[in-house]
Structure formats: C-alpha cells, structure tokens
Amino acid sequence: METIFEIDPTRRTPKYQQIINSVTKSIKSGKLKKGDKILSINELSNECLLSRDTVQKAYTLLEEDGIITAIPGKGFYINRTDISIPYRILLLFNKISNYKKQIYNSFVEVMGNKAAVDLKIFHCDSIIFENYINTYLNEYDYYVIMPHFYENIETAYKAILKIPEDKLLILDKNMPGLQTNVGAVYQDFQNDIAEALEGGMHLLQKYNKLILVYPETIPYPYEIVTGFKNFCMEYHFAYSITHECHTGTVPHAKEAWIVIEETDLVNLIKKCMSGNLKIGKDIGIISYNETPLKEILLDGITVISTDHAKMGETAARLILENSKQKIKNPFSLIQRKSL
C-alpha cells in the first residue's frame, strides 16, 4: 500500500493534525477515493514512529467528520470525498501600511472560508524573511510573498527557491528569471510612473520643473526614480530629486512635486500655505498611492497609484483557479484639484 502520510517531526504543526492533513490532501488530489483502505492505527504508529494516542486522536477527528469509517475486523476506509478543505496560506509582506492593508483585506475577502490566512511582516529584511521561510516551509499550501529586499538580496532569493513552484505566488514586485512557472500580480514600477505622468501631460505642461521626493530612509523600489527620470528626459522637463520635505524645503511657483511618503506630503502642503502658493494653480502636487483621505484633502489630491484592492483580489483568484498567470496590476493617474 502506497503511503499517503507526510509526517515531519520538525514541523510546528501537531503530528495528529499532520495525519489529518495528509488524508484530506490525498482526497483532494485524487490519491484517495471513497472505499479506499488506509493504514490501521498500529500500522501508522509503527511506520511513522508515532504514539498510538496521536494516531487515535487523528482518526477519531476524521471519523467525527465522516471522512473515514471503521469496519470492525477489517480496518479504516475512506467514507466520503465531498469535503471542503481550506487552503493554508502564508502572506509575507515587506511592511504594513494603509496600502498593504487594502491588499490584505481584499485577498481575505475573496478567499472567504476557502482559506486560513496568516500574515507575517519581514520589514524588507532578508534575514528575517529567510528565518520565516525556514520556520514555516512545508507548513502551508501557498506562500504569497512581496519580494522587496534592499540588502542581502541573494539570501532572500535562495530562501525563495526553497518554496515549491506550485506553492508560490509573487505579489507587488515581479521577479523575472527567478522561476518560470510561478504566478504573479505585480507593479511595473519603472514604466507605471512614466505612463501615469504621460496621462497627466496636459496638466503638467503648465509647470517648468518636476520634483520627485524619493525617501532615503524608507525603502521604495528604485525603479520609480528611473521611470521618473526617463519621463522627464523624453519630454524635456527640468527635474530634480530630493529625499524629503523638511523645514529647509522651499517650494517655488511653476513647480510640480511628486511625493511618495505622506509625511512629506503634509510638510509640502504646509510649506505651500506658508509661502502663499495656491496648490493646483501656482504649484502642482501629485501623491503616490491612493487613500480615501486624498480624495477630500484640499478638495482632492491628484494621485498616481496601483489598484491595491484589485491586487489582493487577483492574487486570491489565481490561487482559487490554480493559475500561474503573471498579471500586471492596473496603475493610473487620478486627476484632482492639486495639479
């Protein structure tokens, strides 16, 4: 009899639960069908070096759910295969923010009762990420990761390669060339910002200079800077890049500012007000990433943003459909009065 039991004593999952998972997984994959016989309590105990109490607990729970049935003198048999087995999913996000919450909420909503979802934050730290992978490898049906790393990148990539392709989904940032048969929902940071600014060209033409506020201490994909520079050079805009809006920042008329961090957005607005610069007329402001507050702040802040809720929804649907598509998430400029 081919064993269907995958019991690993190094896993954090209790051994009785590993037995249950092995049976339900085999039913889901078609390895076990109604009427198939499985190992007896003694056989499984001896084969996997488990206590009889552990096996008995698992079999009792499986019997209570009607998944297996005991026939006296003959053994245990699969009783039903019409079972709903929720996915176990680990989300590994590089950081938590309003935008990441939107992704998480839409992902969980679409998965519904079809998944048990755990969330871990690795703060763009490759070592923390590697520890999570080593700790939870083989514990989940899917690993949904945001591969934003800025140091020890090779360490992170090696950790990702430990995850089986059929269990991996890449989110937010694409990783071309890492693995071919892996689903992804991603932003194209370099081209997204250039194309979004092109969409606002009719508004940007009244400004003489574009300024990108790209944070130095908070990591963001550098492709944003590359895309911004490419746009400015292609359309002959004077431009500069600064790392923050602070007390010494002096905005001038005929400038349009693209701001990523909300702290810098607030400081820039304060500077404009104190300098009697009318936002949307004397000076333009574009904020990165949409939030409900930006819809109403100063009668509306123009944003360039991916659709975070759509990203979470699409990721969930790829899992539910067992799809390995690579899908670029929508990104656009939302025009409001600040530009």
Token pair listed for 251: 């905005």
Q: What is the Cα–Cα distance from 58 to 54, expressed in whole angstroms?
A: 6
pLDDT at 6: 84
Which distant-in-sequence residues (6+ apart) come within 8 Å of 54 by Cβ? Answer: 15, 16, 19, 45
> For 200, which DSSP code?
T
Q: Is the pLDDT of residue 68 over 80?
A: yes
CATH (residue range 15-78): 1.10.10.10
Q: What is the average per-residue pLDDT within 63-92? A: 90
Pairing of strands 255-259, 209-213: parallel
Architecture of domain 190-306: 3-Layer(aba) Sandwich (3.40)
Crossing angle of the two packed helices 126-136 and 153-161, in degrees rounded to 10 = 20
End-to-end CA, the chain: 70
Q: What is the average per-residue pLDDT within 162-188? A: 88
Model confidence band, residue 175 (pLDDT cutoffs 50, 70, 90): confident
Q: What is the average per-residue pLDDT within 270-287? A: 96
Q: What is the pLDDT of residues 78-100, one digit of tens each?
A: 999 887 778 899 999 999 888 99
| DSSP states of 243-265 | S---TT----TTEEEEE-SHHHH
Q: What is the Cα–Cα distance from 191 to 120, expressed in whole angstroms?
A: 29
Q: What is the Cα–Cα distance from 186 to 188, expressed in whole angstroms?
A: 7
Map tokens 């909300």 to a residue: 262
SS3 at position 117: strand
CA angle 249, 254, 257 (to 5 degrees): 50
Domain ranges of the chain: 15-78, 87-187+308-329, 190-306
Which distant-in-sequence residues (6+ apart) come within 8 Å of 100 by Cβ? Answer: 93, 146, 308
Q: What is the pLDDT of residues 260-272, one digit of tens each?
A: 999 999 999 999 9
Alpha-helix runs per DSSP H in 39-143: 41-47, 52-64, 98-111, 126-136
From 186, 187, 251, select the one nearest 213 (Cα to Cα).
251
Pairing of strands 68-71, 87-93: unpaired
- The pTM (predicted TM-score) of the whole model is 0.79
Q: What is the pLDDT of residues 302-333, one digit of tens each?
A: 999 999 999 999 999 999 999 999 999 999 99
Pairing of strands 68-71, 284-288: unpaired
pLDDT at 169: 96
pLDDT at 30: 85
Model confidence band, residue 218 (pLDDT cutoffs 50, 70, 90): confident
Q: Is the pLDDT of residue 2 over 70?
A: no
Q: What is the Cα–Cα distance from 234 to 244, expressed in whole angstroms?
A: 25
Architecture of domain 87-187+308-329: 3-Layer(aba) Sandwich (3.40)
Q: What is the Cα–Cα distance from 145 to 170, expressed in whole angstroms?
A: 5
Taken in order 124, 126, 128, 132, is the CA torsion positive or negative?
A: positive
Phi, psi of 233 (to 5 degrees): -70, -40
Decide: 250 and 271 in contact? Cβ < 8 Å. Answer: yes
Classify burial at 156, counting beta carbons within 10 Å of its beta carbon; exposed 0-12, middle 13-18, buried 19 or more.
Answer: buried
Q: What is the Cα–Cα distance from 140 to 154, expressed in whole angstroms?
A: 23
Q: What is the Cα–Cα distance from 234 to 195, expressed in whole angstroms?
A: 12
Same fold, 87-187+308-329 and 190-306: yes
Model confidence band, residue 8 (pLDDT cutoffs 50, 70, 90): confident
Q: What is the average per-residue pLDDT within 170-197? A: 90
Decide: 147 and 159 in contact? Cβ < 8 Å. Answer: no
